[in-house]
Structures are given as C-alpha cells and as structure tokens.
Amino acid sequence: MAVWTNTATTQSIPQTRKLIARLLLRSSASVLIRRLESGWLLPTPMTQRKRPAMNDKSVTAPARLLTIREVAGYLQVDEKTIRRWIQARNLPAFKLGRQWRVAEKDLQRFLNERWTG
C-alpha cells in the first residue's frame, strides 16, 4: 500500500489527500497524470507489518470467539448471567464493535477454575 505525499512541498498527508480529491473533481485525468509523472505527487512506501511465513512454527490459529448467546447456550444459563460475570470481571471478555466476545480458551480456563466435580 502506498501513501501519496507531496514531494515538492512539506504538506501533510491529509492536506495532500484533499489536494488529490480537488484535482480529481476539478481537473481532467490528464492533468493528474501529468502531475504524477512529473514527480509532484509520488507514492512513498508505508511501513508495513511483516507477515509471518506460512511454515513458521510460532504462528498459531486465531482463537475461536464466542458470542454471549453461544456461551450461555453452552453453559445452559441465561445470557444475563454471562453479562453479570463479564461485568464482575469473573469471565474475561472484550467488545468487538458493540458485541461482547469470549475467547474459547478463556471460557475453558473460567470453567476449570470453578470446577467442583
């Protein structure tokens, strides 16, 4: 992914984006192409996270995330009970958007700590 920066001046990236949008709206495509070719706007590489190799042993599969409804169904309790446990910080969970999610490993740890049988 490239970030467009203005190499002719020291404009910030948001200012440069506004300028590009203005050029696209008001100018023809040939004007924009000429400015790109002249080096006025050049793509500069953005720092990217290095992806791990597929054969790397340290790469693990992402944890399965359960909704409150799935956890409640699995434990055969009401959803309000699960919400109370999350609010009391007894059951580790996090919000993904507007929904609470519980990692399957956290649920197993929660059950192992409370197992009385």
Domains, the chain, ranges and CATH? 2-45 (no CATH), 65-114 (1.10.10)
**What does the block give as tokens for 106?**
């956290």
Is pTM beyond 0.75 here?
no
Helix (H) or strand (E) holding 38: none
Count Cβ atoms below 10 Å from residue 42 Cβ, excluding itself.
Answer: 13
H or E element in which residue 4 lies? strand 2-6
Alpha carbons within 13 A on the beta-carbon side of 41? 20
CA distances from 86 to 20, 43, 80, 108 (A): 47, 46, 10, 15
pLDDT at 55: 65
Query: What does the pLDDT look like over 14-35, one tens digit per residue?
Result: 666 676 666 666 656 666 566 6
Sequence-ordered list of residues with C-beta below 8 angstroms from that of 109, at least 6 positions apart, any chain: 92
Q: What is the pLDDT of residues 54-98, one digit of tens each?
A: 666 665 666 789 999 999 999 999 999 999 999 999 999 999 899
